[in-house]
Amino acid sequence: MQVAIEKPALPEDGALAVGVWEDRTLTPSAASVDEAGGGALTRAMESARFTGKKNQTLTLFAPAGGTWSRVVLVGLGKADDLDTLACQEIGGTVAGQLLKSGETKAALMADPADEGGPDAATMAANMAHGARLGTYRFDRYRTRDKDEDTPSLETFAVHTRDVDAARQALAGLDSVAEGVFLARDLQNEPANVLSPEALADRARDLKDLGIGVTILDEAEMAELGMEALLAVGRGSERESRLIVLEYRGAGSDVPPIAFVGKGVCFDSGGISIKPSANMGDMKWDMGGAAVVLGTMRALAGRGAKVNAVAVIGAVENMPSGAAQRPGDIVTAMSGQTIEVTNTDAEGRMVMADCITWVQKHHDPALIVDVATLTGAIIIALGPEHAGLFSNDDATAEALAAAGRAAGDPVWRLPMGSGYDEMIKADFADMKNAGEREAGSIQAAQFLQRFLDEGRSWAHVDIAGTTWAKKDKPTVPKGATGFGVRLLDRWVHDAREQG
């Protein structure tokens, strides 16, 4: 579906969507349609109990006084409550309702409030952005969809009085959307398609955007002593990979920020095998890697003024005669030893070597890692927030603010020496998993042990937010790409130079 910004005039045909403020206050566009139809909109609202609450919709088919196939009334809510995220939801709501309606062409009129709410350009750009996000589909393996299940909508235009500014704003948002879509595509791919090698190939595609890509194979990682990462992938017939991406948008003297992503392309649990129910969901255990790749895609696409390096440990955790066992002790790249108490606590071992590698080779200003790391975070926060852990209050606060602004909210959890005692091992420097209590915090404490002294760091556990079980206005059911908008907004607000 193509999304565009157009002039404020009402279109002549197709589906038309107009806004209504709460308490049935018509926007200028809606008032024009109502007048042309002899008050048809007003009568329809009264009979349908439509009040204009945000995202509420009401459809009139082939209304009198116009040549449109249908008119959709969409609730804008209260002007003071209409922010950019609300605009995105409204755009996603309208486009989602029309996507499979049989309509091929639709227009949404963006009429800003006289007081309060975003300006015309911001309103229109974010409505268009929401329409793109909300109509994402992963259909590459469908071969027999019925007509009513097939998208019909080909063009979606948002009309505004400030066309040039809206188009400029949308261009930047489009780069973010492309990053979100890359992450969603990767998270949705089945594990028989997206192996560690295939994930590395997808990373190479980003070279066209000016991103440097380096791939290390198992032999190269073995020479570097990355035994924690390699131990996780040892049970699989598919080789592990270390994926490194570099983007330079600032001066050569500016130290990079580092993103580290967990890329477990399938997680069976290894010898500590998971229950069979819902194990298929573990194809998206590489969600952190997908987010990191999507973030780098977004930064490069909009020409962000920042230097960034991304490191992804791509592995597959499978049970076999070669797999690591509970009770094994491995030596990580940092030289620290890990007693493996549970082979299903594998992601943190992968991340540990990635964190060590990026510190040794790039000396980043700070590190943000993203991972579907623990089931415990799902129990704690559900699907509404990702878990945030950090050793730096300023970084944590900036990430939390970015999450609120971007619609990818995070919630900070505590860390401390008492929690660190939970991963004290009997026969090694640490164990990879303790008892059930505070499981997400234990994982964060484990990762923190691999940081150089004084290194600022944040860990985002997206296990509960990577997959949506139902449709939302800007996030269709399935892979969410949660984290791309968070990190892009954080870079924009807190890290860009110049």
Any idea which residues carry the catalytic annotation?
274, 348
- Helical segments of 115-205, H only: 120-134, 163-188, 196-204
Instruction: Read off φ and ψ for residue 93, nearest 5 degrees.
Output: -65, -45
Burial class, 486, CB count within 10 angstroms (exposed 0-12 / middle 13-18 / buried 19+): buried
Cα–Cα distance measured from residue 406 to residue 401, given in angstroms and rounded to the nearest whole number? 9
467 token code pair: 């997959």
- Can you tell me the distance from the alpha carbon of 155 to that of 136, in angstroms, rounded to the nearest whole number? 14
| Residue 412 in tokens | 């900070």
Residue the block writes with tokens 């069979």: 276
Long-range Cβ contact pairs of 431-438 (< 8 A, separation 24 or more): 431/338, 431/339, 431/340, 431/341, 432/338, 432/339, 432/340, 432/341, 432/342, 432/345, 432/346, 432/348, 432/349, 433/341, 433/342, 433/344, 433/345, 434/341, 436/376, 438/376
Alpha carbons 85 and 404: distance in angstroms, whole number: 9
User: Quick check: helix, strand or coil at residue 47?
Assistant: helix
E strands, 175-252, where? 212-216, 241-248
Closest C-alpha among 166, 84, 54 to residue 407 = 84
Nearest of 455, 476, 479 to residue 467 by alpha carbon: 479
Residue from 131, 170, 483, 130 nearest 296 by CA: 483
Q: What gap in Å lies between CA 155 and CA 463, rounded to an integer?
A: 34
Question: Within a 10 A sphere around the Cβ of 224, how many other Cβ atoms?
Answer: 17
Q: At 46, phi and psi to the nearest 5?
A: -65, -40
